[in-house]
Chain A
Amino acid sequence: MLKRVHFPASILPYLLVAPQVIVTLIFFIWPASQAVYQSFLIEDAFGLSTEFVWFENFTYLWDDSHYRSSFGRTIFFSACVAFLSMAFALILAGFADRVIRGSTVYRTLLIWPYAVAPVLAGALFLFMFNPTIGIFPFILEKIGYGWNHYLNGGQAMFLVIIAAAWKQVAYNFLFYLAAMQSIPRSITEAAAIDGAGPIRRFATIIFPLISPTTFFLLVINATYAFFETFGIIHAVTQGGPANSTTTLVYKVYNDGFVGLDLGGSAAQSVILMILVIGMTVIQFRFIEKRVQY
Protein backbone atom coordinates (compact mmCIF):
# COMPACT_ATOMS: atom_id res chain seq x y z
CA MET A 1 0.00 0.00 0.00
CA LEU A 2 1.20 3.44 -0.85
CA LYS A 3 1.07 5.84 2.01
CA ARG A 4 -0.45 9.15 1.19
CA VAL A 5 1.51 12.00 2.58
CA HIS A 6 -0.37 15.13 3.53
CA PHE A 7 1.45 18.38 4.03
CA PRO A 8 -0.15 20.99 6.18
CA ALA A 9 -1.47 23.96 4.22
CA SER A 10 1.19 26.59 4.12
CA ILE A 11 1.91 29.88 2.46
CA LEU A 12 5.46 28.82 1.58
CA PRO A 13 4.77 27.17 -1.83
CA TYR A 14 2.87 30.26 -2.94
CA LEU A 15 5.74 32.46 -1.87
CA LEU A 16 8.18 30.29 -3.80
CA VAL A 17 6.30 30.49 -7.08
CA ALA A 18 5.36 34.13 -6.57
CA PRO A 19 8.40 35.67 -8.37
CA GLN A 20 7.73 33.62 -11.51
CA VAL A 21 4.04 34.44 -11.42
CA ILE A 22 4.71 38.15 -10.91
CA VAL A 23 7.22 38.26 -13.78
CA THR A 24 4.76 36.46 -16.04
CA LEU A 25 1.94 38.77 -15.08
CA ILE A 26 3.89 41.99 -15.48
CA PHE A 27 5.86 41.17 -18.60
CA PHE A 28 3.54 38.82 -20.48
CA ILE A 29 -0.06 38.79 -19.38
CA TRP A 30 -0.46 42.50 -18.72
CA PRO A 31 1.06 43.73 -22.05
CA ALA A 32 -0.82 41.02 -23.93
CA SER A 33 -4.13 42.02 -22.40
CA GLN A 34 -3.30 45.67 -23.09
CA ALA A 35 -2.71 44.76 -26.73
CA VAL A 36 -6.00 42.90 -26.90
CA TYR A 37 -7.81 45.86 -25.29
CA GLN A 38 -6.10 48.36 -27.54
CA SER A 39 -6.97 46.37 -30.65
CA PHE A 40 -10.60 47.25 -29.97
CA LEU A 41 -9.85 50.99 -29.88
CA ILE A 42 -9.27 53.64 -32.47
CA GLU A 43 -7.17 56.56 -31.32
CA ASP A 44 -6.44 59.79 -33.13
CA ALA A 45 -2.82 60.53 -34.01
CA PHE A 46 -2.40 62.99 -31.15
CA GLY A 47 -3.77 60.63 -28.48
CA LEU A 48 -6.49 63.08 -27.52
CA SER A 49 -9.50 60.86 -28.07
CA THR A 50 -10.14 57.13 -28.20
CA GLU A 51 -13.19 55.28 -29.34
CA PHE A 52 -14.20 51.69 -28.60
CA VAL A 53 -14.95 50.07 -31.97
CA TRP A 54 -15.08 46.32 -31.31
CA PHE A 55 -13.63 44.44 -34.30
CA GLU A 56 -13.36 47.33 -36.71
CA ASN A 57 -9.56 47.21 -36.65
CA PHE A 58 -9.66 43.53 -37.59
CA THR A 59 -12.18 43.91 -40.40
CA TYR A 60 -10.11 46.78 -41.72
CA LEU A 61 -7.03 44.52 -41.78
CA TRP A 62 -9.03 41.77 -43.47
CA ASP A 63 -9.85 44.14 -46.31
CA ASP A 64 -6.42 45.75 -46.41
CA SER A 65 -4.51 44.52 -49.47
CA HIS A 66 -1.21 45.70 -47.92
CA TYR A 67 -1.79 43.52 -44.90
CA ARG A 68 -2.70 40.48 -46.95
CA SER A 69 0.32 40.88 -49.22
CA SER A 70 2.48 41.30 -46.11
CA PHE A 71 1.04 38.01 -44.83
CA GLY A 72 1.96 36.24 -48.04
CA ARG A 73 5.40 37.84 -48.02
CA THR A 74 6.02 36.69 -44.45
CA ILE A 75 5.11 33.12 -45.32
CA PHE A 76 7.42 33.23 -48.34
CA PHE A 77 10.19 34.78 -46.23
CA SER A 78 9.77 32.20 -43.45
CA ALA A 79 9.67 29.27 -45.84
CA CYS A 80 12.84 30.44 -47.56
CA VAL A 81 14.68 31.14 -44.30
CA ALA A 82 13.65 27.82 -42.76
CA PHE A 83 14.51 25.85 -45.88
CA LEU A 84 17.85 27.56 -46.55
CA SER A 85 19.11 27.50 -42.99
CA MET A 86 18.04 23.90 -42.42
CA ALA A 87 19.41 22.68 -45.73
CA PHE A 88 22.80 24.29 -45.13
CA ALA A 89 22.89 23.11 -41.54
CA LEU A 90 22.06 19.58 -42.66
CA ILE A 91 24.86 19.54 -45.21
CA LEU A 92 27.38 20.99 -42.77
CA ALA A 93 26.34 18.57 -40.04
CA GLY A 94 26.54 15.69 -42.50
CA PHE A 95 30.16 16.58 -43.18
CA ALA A 96 30.99 17.40 -39.56
CA ASP A 97 29.69 13.98 -38.58
CA ARG A 98 32.32 12.39 -40.82
CA VAL A 99 35.22 14.57 -39.70
CA ILE A 100 37.49 12.85 -37.23
CA ARG A 101 40.50 15.15 -36.92
CA GLY A 102 39.94 18.71 -35.75
CA SER A 103 36.23 18.21 -35.35
CA THR A 104 36.06 20.32 -32.18
CA VAL A 105 37.56 23.35 -33.91
CA TYR A 106 35.29 22.87 -36.89
CA ARG A 107 32.20 22.63 -34.73
CA THR A 108 33.12 25.59 -32.56
CA LEU A 109 33.64 27.79 -35.61
CA LEU A 110 30.31 26.73 -37.05
CA ILE A 111 28.50 27.64 -33.86
CA TRP A 112 29.86 31.19 -33.65
CA PRO A 113 27.31 32.91 -35.93
CA TYR A 114 24.62 32.06 -33.40
CA ALA A 115 26.26 34.38 -30.89
CA VAL A 116 25.98 37.36 -33.27
CA ALA A 117 23.12 39.74 -32.43
CA PRO A 118 20.45 40.04 -35.17
CA VAL A 119 21.14 43.73 -35.77
CA LEU A 120 24.87 43.04 -36.12
CA ALA A 121 24.18 40.18 -38.51
CA GLY A 122 22.06 42.61 -40.51
CA ALA A 123 24.82 45.23 -40.42
CA LEU A 124 27.38 42.69 -41.65
CA PHE A 125 25.28 41.87 -44.67
CA LEU A 126 24.43 45.52 -45.17
CA PHE A 127 28.12 46.32 -45.58
CA MET A 128 28.85 43.29 -47.74
CA PHE A 129 25.98 44.09 -50.07
CA ASN A 130 26.13 47.87 -49.98
CA PRO A 131 25.70 48.92 -53.65
CA THR A 132 28.45 51.56 -53.35
CA ILE A 133 31.13 50.02 -51.12
CA GLY A 134 30.06 46.37 -50.72
CA ILE A 135 32.19 43.48 -51.93
CA PHE A 136 29.38 41.46 -53.48
CA PRO A 137 27.94 44.21 -55.69
CA PHE A 138 31.55 44.82 -56.80
CA ILE A 139 31.95 41.16 -57.80
CA LEU A 140 28.47 41.01 -59.34
CA GLU A 141 29.27 44.12 -61.36
CA LYS A 142 32.28 42.28 -62.84
CA ILE A 143 30.03 39.55 -64.17
CA GLY A 144 27.57 42.09 -65.44
CA TYR A 145 24.84 41.93 -62.78
CA GLY A 146 23.67 45.18 -61.28
CA TRP A 147 22.96 45.00 -57.53
CA ASN A 148 21.01 47.63 -55.67
CA HIS A 149 18.73 46.37 -52.98
CA TYR A 150 17.70 49.95 -52.17
CA LEU A 151 15.81 50.00 -55.42
CA ASN A 152 15.13 46.38 -56.29
CA GLY A 153 12.55 44.76 -53.99
CA GLY A 154 13.45 41.20 -55.05
CA GLN A 155 17.10 41.77 -54.23
CA ALA A 156 16.16 43.33 -50.90
CA MET A 157 14.08 40.27 -50.04
CA PHE A 158 16.92 37.98 -51.08
CA LEU A 159 19.31 39.90 -48.85
CA VAL A 160 17.17 39.70 -45.69
CA ILE A 161 16.50 36.00 -46.35
CA ILE A 162 20.23 35.30 -46.64
CA ALA A 163 21.04 37.32 -43.53
CA ALA A 164 18.27 35.71 -41.48
CA ALA A 165 19.11 32.20 -42.69
CA TRP A 166 22.84 32.66 -42.10
CA LYS A 167 22.25 33.45 -38.47
CA GLN A 168 20.08 30.41 -37.93
CA VAL A 169 22.38 27.89 -39.62
CA ALA A 170 24.53 27.54 -36.51
CA TYR A 171 21.58 26.70 -34.30
CA ASN A 172 20.21 24.11 -36.75
CA PHE A 173 23.69 22.68 -37.24
CA LEU A 174 24.01 22.03 -33.53
CA PHE A 175 20.76 20.09 -33.38
CA TYR A 176 21.39 18.16 -36.56
CA LEU A 177 24.88 17.16 -35.49
CA ALA A 178 23.63 15.97 -32.10
CA ALA A 179 20.88 13.97 -33.83
CA MET A 180 23.32 12.36 -36.26
CA GLN A 181 25.75 11.45 -33.55
CA SER A 182 23.01 9.73 -31.61
CA ILE A 183 22.49 7.27 -34.47
CA PRO A 184 24.36 4.07 -33.57
CA ARG A 185 27.52 3.78 -35.66
CA SER A 186 26.73 0.16 -36.45
CA ILE A 187 23.56 1.12 -38.34
CA THR A 188 25.49 3.19 -40.86
CA GLU A 189 28.15 0.49 -40.99
CA ALA A 190 25.49 -2.10 -41.73
CA ALA A 191 24.22 0.10 -44.55
CA ALA A 192 27.76 0.45 -45.88
CA ILE A 193 28.14 -3.33 -45.92
CA ASP A 194 24.75 -3.59 -47.61
CA GLY A 195 26.30 -1.58 -50.40
CA ALA A 196 25.00 1.94 -49.78
CA GLY A 197 27.40 4.76 -50.61
CA PRO A 198 27.66 7.87 -48.41
CA ILE A 199 24.94 9.80 -50.25
CA ARG A 200 22.55 6.88 -50.31
CA ARG A 201 23.21 6.18 -46.64
CA PHE A 202 22.40 9.79 -45.87
CA ALA A 203 19.19 9.75 -47.86
CA THR A 204 17.81 6.38 -46.82
CA ILE A 205 19.16 5.88 -43.31
CA ILE A 206 20.39 9.06 -41.66
CA PHE A 207 17.80 11.52 -42.92
CA PRO A 208 14.76 9.37 -41.99
CA LEU A 209 16.26 8.69 -38.57
CA ILE A 210 16.70 12.38 -37.78
CA SER A 211 13.20 13.30 -38.96
CA PRO A 212 12.05 14.16 -35.42
CA THR A 213 14.82 16.78 -35.30
CA THR A 214 13.82 18.09 -38.71
CA PHE A 215 10.25 18.56 -37.56
CA PHE A 216 11.33 20.24 -34.36
CA LEU A 217 13.63 22.61 -36.26
CA LEU A 218 10.92 23.36 -38.80
CA VAL A 219 8.67 24.73 -36.07
CA ILE A 220 11.53 26.56 -34.36
CA ASN A 221 12.76 28.11 -37.61
CA ALA A 222 9.30 29.14 -38.73
CA THR A 223 8.79 30.81 -35.37
CA TYR A 224 12.19 32.47 -35.66
CA ALA A 225 11.54 33.77 -39.18
CA PHE A 226 8.08 35.01 -38.24
CA PHE A 227 8.89 36.80 -35.03
CA GLU A 228 12.60 37.21 -34.39
CA THR A 229 13.88 38.69 -37.62
CA PHE A 230 12.76 42.22 -36.85
CA GLY A 231 16.31 43.29 -35.99
CA ILE A 232 17.75 42.06 -39.27
CA ILE A 233 15.04 43.64 -41.41
CA HIS A 234 15.22 46.88 -39.49
CA ALA A 235 18.98 47.09 -39.93
CA VAL A 236 19.09 46.04 -43.59
CA THR A 237 16.04 47.40 -45.39
CA GLN A 238 13.63 49.04 -42.92
CA GLY A 239 10.92 47.07 -44.68
CA GLY A 240 11.62 48.72 -48.02
CA PRO A 241 11.88 49.37 -50.83
CA ALA A 242 8.15 49.98 -51.25
CA ASN A 243 7.23 47.53 -48.43
CA SER A 244 8.86 44.68 -50.35
CA THR A 245 10.46 43.34 -47.14
CA THR A 246 7.74 44.36 -44.69
CA THR A 247 6.90 41.20 -42.78
CA LEU A 248 4.07 41.01 -40.26
CA VAL A 249 6.29 41.82 -37.30
CA TYR A 250 7.88 44.72 -39.11
CA LYS A 251 4.44 46.02 -40.06
CA VAL A 252 3.34 45.98 -36.41
CA TYR A 253 6.25 48.24 -35.58
CA ASN A 254 5.87 50.39 -38.66
CA ASP A 255 2.14 50.97 -38.37
CA GLY A 256 2.24 51.47 -34.62
CA PHE A 257 5.38 53.48 -33.92
CA VAL A 258 5.93 55.15 -37.27
CA GLY A 259 2.38 55.40 -38.58
CA LEU A 260 0.97 55.86 -35.04
CA ASP A 261 -2.04 53.70 -35.86
CA LEU A 262 -2.05 52.18 -32.40
CA GLY A 263 -5.33 50.31 -32.70
CA GLY A 264 -4.46 48.73 -36.06
CA SER A 265 -0.98 47.85 -34.86
CA ALA A 266 -2.41 46.26 -31.72
CA ALA A 267 -4.87 44.27 -33.83
CA GLN A 268 -1.96 42.97 -35.91
CA SER A 269 -0.02 41.96 -32.83
CA VAL A 270 -3.08 40.14 -31.51
CA ILE A 271 -3.17 38.16 -34.75
CA LEU A 272 0.53 37.38 -34.36
CA MET A 273 -0.12 36.34 -30.79
CA ILE A 274 -2.72 33.85 -31.97
CA LEU A 275 -0.21 32.53 -34.51
CA VAL A 276 2.44 32.06 -31.81
CA ILE A 277 -0.03 30.28 -29.59
CA GLY A 278 -0.96 28.02 -32.52
CA MET A 279 2.67 27.19 -33.27
CA THR A 280 3.40 26.51 -29.63
CA VAL A 281 0.47 24.13 -29.45
CA ILE A 282 1.78 22.29 -32.53
CA GLN A 283 5.22 22.15 -30.99
CA PHE A 284 3.99 20.76 -27.68
CA ARG A 285 1.45 18.36 -29.13
CA PHE A 286 3.63 16.82 -31.79
CA ILE A 287 7.20 17.27 -30.70
CA GLU A 288 6.60 15.82 -27.27
CA LYS A 289 5.26 12.74 -29.03
CA ARG A 290 8.06 12.88 -31.60
CA VAL A 291 7.66 11.87 -35.20
CA GLN A 292 6.91 8.20 -35.56
CA TYR A 293 9.10 6.15 -37.81
Chain B
Amino acid sequence: MAKVPVQFTLNGEEKAEFVDAGATLIKVLRDKLGDTSPKGGCNQGTCGSCSVIIDGELRLSCLTLAETCNGADILTTGGLARDGVLHPLQRAFMDEFAAQCGFCTPGMIMAAKALLDSNPKPTREDVIDALSGNICRCTGYEPIIRAVLTAARSNSQNAA
Protein backbone atom coordinates (compact mmCIF):
# COMPACT_ATOMS: atom_id res chain seq x y z
CA MET B 1 0.00 0.00 0.00
CA ALA B 2 1.36 3.40 -0.98
CA LYS B 3 2.77 5.42 1.92
CA VAL B 4 2.80 9.18 2.05
CA PRO B 5 4.67 11.47 4.45
CA VAL B 6 2.80 13.65 6.91
CA GLN B 7 4.21 16.14 9.36
CA PHE B 8 2.29 18.11 11.95
CA THR B 9 2.36 19.26 15.55
CA LEU B 10 0.42 17.09 18.00
CA ASN B 11 -0.15 18.65 21.39
CA GLY B 12 2.96 20.77 20.94
CA GLU B 13 5.23 17.98 19.70
CA GLU B 14 6.54 17.71 16.13
CA LYS B 15 5.43 14.48 14.49
CA ALA B 16 6.50 13.03 11.15
CA GLU B 17 5.21 9.72 9.81
CA PHE B 18 4.71 7.78 6.64
CA VAL B 19 1.07 6.79 6.53
CA ASP B 20 -1.21 4.86 4.18
CA ALA B 21 -2.45 7.08 1.36
CA GLY B 22 -6.01 8.18 2.08
CA ALA B 23 -5.73 7.29 5.79
CA THR B 24 -7.93 9.25 8.15
CA LEU B 25 -6.40 11.38 10.88
CA ILE B 26 -8.02 9.28 13.63
CA LYS B 27 -6.34 6.17 12.30
CA VAL B 28 -2.93 7.88 12.22
CA LEU B 29 -3.34 9.39 15.69
CA ARG B 30 -4.43 6.09 17.22
CA ASP B 31 -2.48 3.44 15.33
CA LYS B 32 0.69 5.35 14.39
CA LEU B 33 1.16 7.95 17.10
CA GLY B 34 -0.40 6.07 20.04
CA ASP B 35 -2.81 8.85 20.98
CA THR B 36 -6.00 6.83 21.50
CA SER B 37 -7.95 9.69 23.07
CA PRO B 38 -9.98 10.35 19.89
CA LYS B 39 -12.58 7.55 19.73
CA GLY B 40 -14.18 6.11 16.62
CA GLY B 41 -17.82 5.88 17.66
CA CYS B 42 -19.37 6.07 14.22
CA ASN B 43 -16.73 6.98 11.62
CA GLN B 44 -19.44 8.91 9.79
CA GLY B 45 -19.38 12.33 11.45
CA THR B 46 -22.41 11.79 13.61
CA CYS B 47 -21.19 11.14 17.16
CA GLY B 48 -18.35 13.62 17.80
CA SER B 49 -16.23 11.13 19.81
CA CYS B 50 -13.28 11.69 17.51
CA SER B 51 -13.32 15.51 17.83
CA VAL B 52 -9.92 17.21 17.79
CA ILE B 53 -8.84 20.82 17.39
CA ILE B 54 -6.95 21.57 14.18
CA ASP B 55 -5.43 25.04 13.83
CA GLY B 56 -7.83 26.32 16.45
CA GLU B 57 -10.97 24.82 14.89
CA LEU B 58 -12.99 21.87 16.13
CA ARG B 59 -12.91 19.06 13.58
CA LEU B 60 -13.73 15.40 13.26
CA SER B 61 -10.63 13.25 12.94
CA CYS B 62 -12.64 10.38 11.41
CA LEU B 63 -13.54 12.49 8.36
CA THR B 64 -10.21 14.30 8.02
CA LEU B 65 -7.56 12.80 5.77
CA ALA B 66 -4.19 12.81 7.53
CA GLU B 67 -2.47 14.12 4.39
CA THR B 68 -4.51 17.31 4.55
CA CYS B 69 -3.03 18.06 7.98
CA ASN B 70 0.52 18.75 6.85
CA GLY B 71 1.88 21.68 8.86
CA ALA B 72 -1.19 21.78 11.08
CA ASP B 73 -1.32 22.28 14.82
CA ILE B 74 -3.43 19.49 16.30
CA LEU B 75 -4.73 19.29 19.85
CA THR B 76 -6.36 16.26 21.46
CA THR B 77 -7.70 15.52 24.93
CA GLY B 78 -4.80 13.09 25.32
CA GLY B 79 -2.41 16.05 25.44
CA LEU B 80 -4.53 18.50 27.40
CA ALA B 81 -3.00 17.95 30.82
CA ARG B 82 0.37 19.69 31.18
CA ASP B 83 3.02 18.08 33.38
CA GLY B 84 0.33 16.18 35.20
CA VAL B 85 -1.77 19.29 35.85
CA LEU B 86 -5.30 18.85 34.59
CA HIS B 87 -7.01 21.46 32.42
CA PRO B 88 -9.96 23.17 34.18
CA LEU B 89 -12.33 21.31 31.85
CA GLN B 90 -10.86 17.96 32.90
CA ARG B 91 -11.14 18.97 36.56
CA ALA B 92 -14.76 20.09 36.08
CA PHE B 93 -15.75 16.89 34.21
CA MET B 94 -14.41 14.92 37.20
CA ASP B 95 -16.10 17.08 39.83
CA GLU B 96 -19.48 17.25 38.09
CA PHE B 97 -19.73 13.50 37.34
CA ALA B 98 -19.73 14.37 33.65
CA ALA B 99 -18.16 11.09 32.49
CA GLN B 100 -19.70 7.67 33.02
CA CYS B 101 -18.44 5.16 30.45
CA GLY B 102 -15.99 7.82 29.29
CA PHE B 103 -16.14 7.00 25.59
CA CYS B 104 -17.63 10.34 24.51
CA THR B 105 -15.57 12.31 27.05
CA PRO B 106 -12.43 13.17 25.03
CA GLY B 107 -14.62 14.47 22.19
CA MET B 108 -16.87 16.38 24.58
CA ILE B 109 -13.83 18.02 26.18
CA MET B 110 -12.44 19.07 22.79
CA ALA B 111 -15.80 20.56 21.76
CA ALA B 112 -15.97 22.39 25.08
CA LYS B 113 -12.40 23.64 24.74
CA ALA B 114 -13.10 24.99 21.26
CA LEU B 115 -16.04 26.87 22.76
CA LEU B 116 -14.16 28.32 25.75
CA ASP B 117 -11.20 29.31 23.57
CA SER B 118 -13.47 31.59 21.53
CA ASN B 119 -16.13 32.37 24.13
CA PRO B 120 -14.71 32.31 27.69
CA LYS B 121 -18.03 33.22 29.32
CA PRO B 122 -20.63 31.12 27.51
CA THR B 123 -24.29 30.98 28.40
CA ARG B 124 -26.01 27.63 28.93
CA GLU B 125 -27.43 27.95 25.39
CA ASP B 126 -23.93 28.55 24.01
CA VAL B 127 -22.75 25.36 25.71
CA ILE B 128 -25.68 23.33 24.40
CA ASP B 129 -24.99 24.55 20.88
CA ALA B 130 -21.26 23.88 21.18
CA LEU B 131 -21.92 20.28 22.27
CA SER B 132 -24.66 19.69 19.71
CA GLY B 133 -22.40 17.57 17.49
CA ASN B 134 -21.39 15.27 20.33
CA ILE B 135 -23.53 12.35 21.46
CA CYS B 136 -23.48 10.87 24.95
CA ARG B 137 -25.43 7.71 25.75
CA CYS B 138 -24.91 7.10 29.47
CA THR B 139 -23.75 10.11 31.45
CA GLY B 140 -26.59 12.37 30.33
CA TYR B 141 -26.07 15.86 29.01
CA GLU B 142 -26.91 17.85 32.15
CA PRO B 143 -23.74 16.98 34.11
CA ILE B 144 -21.69 17.69 30.99
CA ILE B 145 -23.29 21.11 30.46
CA ARG B 146 -22.74 21.86 34.16
CA ALA B 147 -19.09 20.85 33.89
CA VAL B 148 -18.44 23.19 30.96
CA LEU B 149 -20.10 26.10 32.77
CA THR B 150 -18.12 25.27 35.91
CA ALA B 151 -14.87 25.20 33.95
CA ALA B 152 -15.72 28.55 32.35
CA ARG B 153 -16.29 30.06 35.79
CA SER B 154 -13.06 28.66 37.20
CA ASN B 155 -11.19 29.94 34.12
CA SER B 156 -12.51 33.45 34.57
CA GLN B 157 -11.68 33.32 38.27
CA ASN B 158 -8.13 32.27 37.45
CA ALA B 159 -7.83 35.09 34.95
CA ALA B 160 -9.16 37.67 37.43
Chain B binds chain A:
no
- A residues apposed to B, CB below 8 Å: none
